[in-house]
Amino acid sequence: MASGPLSVKEFLDKTKLVSYGFFGLLILFLILFFSAPFLLVSKADPKKSDALILEAIETGKRDKFKQAAALWKKGLAPVIVILYSPTTPESDIGISSDVTNSLQAYLTSLGVDENKILVYTIQAGPQEFPKTLLKIALDRQWKTFLLIGKEFDSATLLRLYRGVLEPAGIYIAISKVSEGIGSGDWFLKPKSLESILGRLAKHLYLILLGN
């Protein structure tokens, strides 16, 4: 049976529902947009650990290596573990064909004892870093780690690592490396805007997956 035409009241009611839904989604988007820096930056403070962890996905980046060396010299951990994935040849620390020696040599030039640097090559890619670190922890009976990570990657990194390590009773915190992106004006610069929104999408995707 065909339904009759909508009355003015019914039309207005439906219009209100659509408007409420649209503005509700818009408000949610704006909240997520402006709170992105707070969602992406970890609040877990660095503390003394069994090992410092460096991810060398791009072979190596000076800012992360310098921070690791500074924390090691302060005594926050006795050793530095480098998780290396040969995904790209890009590097700003002068990598040669002998990656292990190059990574160790750069940290040594920053004052780290060569015997306190361990390099693990993970051919499968950086997605296997947390599982590899779990194996290292169980093998060496380590219980605490301090990961060196970029400021706006810190919350996402912790979510990825803690999902693997915490069930085994292993704690990980993060030392944030500044990226020179302001939390109050990041959306005013196209490069910063693109970077932060991309990371926010990844972070929210991990939350939806339950990771």
pLDDT digits (tens, 9 = 90+) for 9-21: 665 566 666 666 6
pLDDT class of 60 with cuts at 50, 70, 90: low
pLDDT digits (tens, 9 = 90+) for 21-52: 666 665 666 666 666 677 788 877 778 999 99
Establish how many alpha carbons lie within 13 A of residue 99's alpha carbon, considering only the half-sphere containing its beta carbon. Answer: 20
75: alpha, beta or left? (left if phi > 0; alpha if psi -120 to 50)? left
For 51-179, CATH number out of 1.10.10.10, 3.40.50.300, 3.40.50.620, 1.10.10.60 equals: 3.40.50.620
Number of Cβ atoms within 10 Å of the Cβ of 124: 10
Task: Please tell me the predicted confidence (pLDDT) of residue 125.
Answer: 84
Question: Contact 100/106 with Cβ under 8 angstroms?
Answer: no
Least confident of 44-48, 57-61, 144-148, 196-200: 57-61
Q: What is the pTM of this model?
A: 0.76
Q: How far is CA 59 from CA 22, 38, 134, 176, in A?
A: 45, 28, 21, 19
**In this structure, what are the phi and psi dihedrals at residue 20, rounded to the nearest 5 degrees?**
-60, -40
